[in-house]
A and B are shown apart, each in its own frame.
Chain A
Amino acid sequence: MAKVDTRPDHHRLLLETIVQPASLTGYDNRQWELLLRLARRAQLSGYLAAKLEKDGLLDSIPARASNLLRSSLIQARKQQQSVSWELNRVMWALDGQEIPVIVLKGMAYLLQDLPNAPGRMFADLDLLVSKENLGQIESSLLKKGWQHHALTDYDERYYREWSHEIPALVHPERSVEVDVHHTLSSPLGKLKIDPLPFREAAVKVKDAGIYVLSPEDMVLHCAVNLFQNNELADDLRHLLDFHEMMLFFSSQQPFFQQKLIERANQLGLGNPLFYSLYFSRLLLRSAIPDDLEKQLDRQPGWLARRVMHHCVPLALLPQHPDHPSRMAGYARMWLYWRSHWLRMPLYRLVPHLAYKFYLSVFPARAETSK
Chain B
Amino acid sequence: MYWRLNSSLSSIRIKNWGGEFTVFQPESGKTHFLNEMGLQILTILDRSPATLETICKALSEYFSLQPDKDFPGQIAKTLHRFETLGLITRVKEHA
CB closest residue in chain A, given B29: A81
Contact of B29 among A78, A89, A92, A145 (CB under 8 A): A78
Residue pair A85, B86 in contact (C-beta under 8 Å): yes
Bound: A78/B26 CA distance, A: 11
Is the Cβ of A82 less than 8 Å from the Cβ of B29?
Answer: yes
Q: Is A88 on the interface with B (CB-CB < 8 A)?
A: yes
Given the complex, which residues of B lie within 8 Å of A82, measured CB to CB?
29
- B42-95 residues with Cβ-Cβ distance < 8 A to A are 84, 86, 89
B28 on the interface (CB 8 Å rule)?
yes
Is B28 a contact partner of A92 (Cβ separation < 8 A)?
A: no
Establish whether residues B27 and A85, one from each chain, have CB atoms under 8 Å apart when the complex forms.
yes
Contact between B84 and A145 (Cβ–Cβ < 8 Å)?
Answer: yes
Interface size class for chain B?
Answer: under 10
Could you say which interface size class chain A belongs to? 10 to 19
Task: Report yes or no: B29 in contact with A88, Cβ–Cβ below 8 A.
Answer: no
| A92 and B27 form a contact (CB under 8 A) | no
Interface majority SS (helix, strand, loop, mixed), chain B: loop
Interfacial chain B residues near A88, Cβ < 8 Å = 27-28, 86
**B84 — which chain A residues lie within 8 A by C-beta?**
144-145, 173
Residues of B within 8 A of A81 (CB): 28-29
Contacts of A144 in B (CB 8 A): 84
In the complex, what distance in Å separates the CA atom of A145 from the CA atom of B81? 12
Which residues of the other chain, A, contact B28 by a CB distance below 8 angstroms? 81, 85, 88
For residue A78, which residue of chain B has the nearest CB? B29
* Given A85-B29, A89-B86, A92-B86, 11 further pairs, Cβ under 8 A: A81-B28, A82-B29, A85-B28, A85-B86, A88-B27, A88-B28, A88-B86, A92-B89, A144-B84, A145-B84, A173-B84
Of the A-B pairs whose beta carbons lie under 8 Å apart in the complex, a sample of 17, sorted by A's number, is A78-B29, A81-B28, A81-B29, A82-B29, A85-B27, A85-B28, A85-B29, A85-B86, A88-B27, A88-B28, A88-B86, A89-B86, A92-B86, A92-B89, A144-B84, A145-B84, A173-B84
Residues of B within 8 A of A (CB): 27-29, 84, 86, 89
The interface of chain A, by Cβ under 8 A from chain B, is 78, 81-82, 85, 88-89, 92, 144-145, 173
